[in-house]
Structure 1
Amino acid sequence: MSTPNTLLRLVGMTLLTLATAACNSAPKMEAKDSATLLKDIRAEIGDAACDAPQQCRSIAVGHKSCGGPEAYLAWSSKRSDEARLQGLIEQHAAARRAENLRSGMVSDCRLVTDPGASCQAGRCSLLPGGGAGAASAQ
């Protein structure tokens, strides 16, 4: 076997190994902060348009430092992808939990109850008298 051929084979195998390793490494996804995730949630909910009350639902958002949601948002099954919305909600709660731990934030520990949602004037909205509105969600 000649030395140039051996060298070329060695270089070729090394490049192939490096290329394979580069293709197998998963790209790192940057974690979004809670404010960005809340914007994504609101974008997924959109205008929460509805034709019937059965399309309207409420969903818990955020995470209080002592547990439980910070607020509820109304959304429509007519316009929103439930699986995508639930994924964003879970990411947002995890981000809020981490932010609370890092900052040492404490909350009032009041229970925020689910107010439910209704279709009013073609748009899903939270029912009055229950829980807290979306304004308090971080």
Structure 2
Amino acid sequence: MKLFAAFITTLFLAGCSSAQSASDEPVTMADIKSLIGTPTAQSIESCKVLPVGKKACGGPEGYVVYSSETVTDERALLEAIHRYNEK
């Protein structure tokens, strides 16, 4: 029974490590821009601005503008920007 539990635990941990490696791929600015697409909005409330990158002296390298009306997966965009900012 202990051997079976160890086997199951090993399989579980192997699955977790492969899932993490997929999310560890570097995100480029081109990836972020492809998620944004061409921002268009009917109202100013749909326009969003997010900081991207980090300067050595502090602060962001720049900003990206996107529209919540045209971005299909805002959560994926926020995650991509977060991963870009972490590198």
Name the TM-score, length of structure 1 as normaliser. Answer: 0.49
Q: Flag structure 1 segments of 5+ consecutive residues without an equivalent.
A: 1-11, 96-138
| Pair 90,13 (structure 1): closer, same or farther in 2 beyond 3 Å | closer
- Superposition CA RMSD, Å: 2.2
Q: Max radius of gyration: which structure?
A: 1
What letter corresponds to residue 74 of structure 2 in structure 1? E
Task: Report the Cα distance in structure 2 between the residues aligned to 1:74 and 1:84, rounded to whole angstroms.
Answer: 15
Per-residue CA deviation, residues 103-124 of structure 1 (Å, 9 max, x unaligned), is xxxxxxxxxxxxxxxxxxxxxx
Corresponding residue number in structure 2 for 1:55: 46
Per-residue CA deviation, residues 64-105 of structure 1 (Å, 9 max, x unaligned), is 11111001111001122333222211111111xxxxxxxxxx
Q: Flag structure 2 segments of 5+ consecutive residues without an equivalent.
A: none
Q: 1:32 aligns with which of 19, 25, 41?
A: 25
Name the TM-score, length of structure 2 as normaliser. Answer: 0.72
Percent identity for Structure 1 against Structure 2: 25
Corresponding residue number in structure 2 for 1:68: 59
Contact 1:37 1:91 (C-alpha < 8 Å) held by counterparts: no
